[in-house]
Amino acid sequence: MSAIRLLVGTRKGAFVLTADGQRRKWDISGPHFAGWEVYHIKGSPADPNRLYASQTSGWFGQVMQRSNDGGKTWEAGGNEFKYAGTTGTHLWYDGTPHPWEFKRVWHLEPSLSDPETVYAGVEDAALFRSADGGRTWQELPGLRSHPSGAKWQPGAGGMGLHTIIQDPSDAKRMFVAISAAGVFRTDDAGETWRPMNRGLRSEFMPDPTAEVGHCVHRIALHRSRPGVLFMQKHWDVMRSDDAGQSWKEVSGNLPTDFGFPIHVHAHEPETIYVVPIKSDSEHFPLDGKLRVYRSRTGGNEWEALTKGLPQRDCYVNVLRGAMSVDALDPCGVYFGTTGGQVYASADGGDAWAPIVRDLPAVLSVEAQTLP
């Protein structure tokens, strides 16, 4: 029988939540790396027991961890993230040039085919790769040295490269998203990159439709249709049908189109999920009601999913990396909150129940479907 393993990164450690295919009863292990921020944990699609974790601390910096047994035991890997070549500058919050400085790893994306290869998206925004299981890391400098790099500027949470998506149909194509620069795509395995932000509009920018500078919060795609991308931007939910070359707004009837995560159903490429948040100055659900919104039409038409979710006095946030889906049928959907709850739906979002209520603030959730 299949099993589900949820990899949960929090402000104070990592937790591994496991259940059988019924997804009713969960075992919780952790905290792993207690007291450290764990921005992200993700398993290798080629070897689900190979996990990578980003462990970080304001005191002690970045530590990388690797597990070969699905999170039961861990070993520290290499943690030297050295920018390639001349470091250069990007723009600081006040618009002045600021040298690139490594701060932490936000996102880990293991290769689709090789457990030893993993990509890391870091703050200040850059993309690194390890081909030796996380022992050493090398920058793919073509991204950061893009001519627009000197104009990139941090969002409120820092200038993080927070999303990496590999195209399952083309080993040389990859998408990344950076706050607040936007989406970039490579078609040559990371050698060169192009901004993919046409159609985005950000009113806070001097030129609202500029090529770079957009605060993209998350992008997602379905593996069966890698040319269709979905985006939760700072404001606006967007869709691209040409692999990022142009975007159109699909916020439709959402009560607010601000938010952080966006995800695609495992078996229905036009079914997508967002968690609307009141505004950029009030990071909590509208009217104190925690509602996931689902569109079965690839955007524009949205329905509120509320069953089992608190519908009063709820003022948590759901961060960009804190939503995931499993591959069972019906599809399981999961998200974690800054209040420490991890919610699960075993029926595609129709009904929800908390797996656990009192973890530290949840930074990331990744679901693994195990044989």
Partner 1 sequence: MIRVVLPVHLRTLAHLDGEVALGVDGPVTQRSVLDAVEARYPMLRGTMRDHVTQKRRAFIRFFACGEDLSNELPDTLLPDAVAKGAEPFLIVGAIAGG
Residue 11: name the closest of 134, 119, 129, 104 by CA. Answer: 104
Stretch that binds partner 1, among 72-80, 122-130, 238-246, 359-367 (CB under 8 A): 72-80
CB of 78 to partner 1, least distance (A): 8
Stretch that binds partner 1, among 73-81, 167-175, 228-236, 333-341 (CB under 8 A): 73-81
Cβ proximity to partner 1: between 58 and 95 the closer is 58
Tell me, by CB under 8 A, how many residues bind partner 1: 14
Judge residue 34's burial from the number of C-beta atoms within 10 Å of its C-beta, 0-12 exposed, 13-18 middle, 19 or more buried: exposed
Neighbours of 70 (CB within 10 A): 18
Cβ proximity to partner 1: between 136 and 169 the closer is 136
CB of 35 to partner 1, least distance (A): 6
Cβ proximity to partner 1: between 37 and 257 the closer is 37
CB of 248 to partner 1, least distance (A): 44
Tell me which of 22, 27, 72, 80 binds partner 1, using CB under 8 A.
80
Amino acid at 233: K
| 76 makes contact with partner 1 (CB under 8 A) | yes
Expressed in angstroms, the distance from the first to the final Cα of the chain is: 7
Structure tokens at 290: 């925690």
Neighbours of 201 (CB within 10 A): 16
Neighbours of 281 (CB within 10 A): 6
330, 346 Cβ separation under 8 angstroms: yes
77, 137 Cβ separation under 8 angstroms: no
CB of 128 to partner 1, least distance (A): 14
CB of 357 to partner 1, least distance (A): 25
Residue 363: name the closest of 324, 331, 322 by CA. Answer: 322
Cβ proximity to partner 1: between 130 and 202 the closer is 130
CA distance 58 to 36: 9
Convert residues 30-69 into a mask of x (bound to partner 1 by CB under 8 A) and - (unbound): ----xxx--------------------xxxxxxx------
CB of 120 to partner 1, least distance (A): 14
Cβ proximity to partner 1: between 19 and 363 the closer is 363
Residues 6+ apart with CB under 8 A from 96: none
CB of 138 to partner 1, least distance (A): 14
Cβ proximity to partner 1: between 12 and 223 the closer is 12
Based on its alpha-carbon atoms, the radius of gyration of the chain, rounded to whole angstroms, reads 19
In three-state secondary structure terms, 141 is: helix
Cβ proximity to partner 1: between 55 and 232 the closer is 55
Cβ proximity to partner 1: between 135 and 248 the closer is 135
Neighbours of 203 (CB within 10 A): 7
Stretch that binds partner 1, among 28-36, 177-185, 202-210, 267-275 (CB under 8 A): 28-36
Residues 6+ apart with CB under 8 A from 201: 208, 209, 236
CB of 233 to partner 1, least distance (A): 32
CB of 38 to partner 1, least distance (A): 13
Residue 163: name the closest of 144, 179, 149 by CA. Answer: 179
In the complex, which residues of this chain contact partner 1 (CB under 8 A)? 34-36, 57-63, 76, 79-80, 82
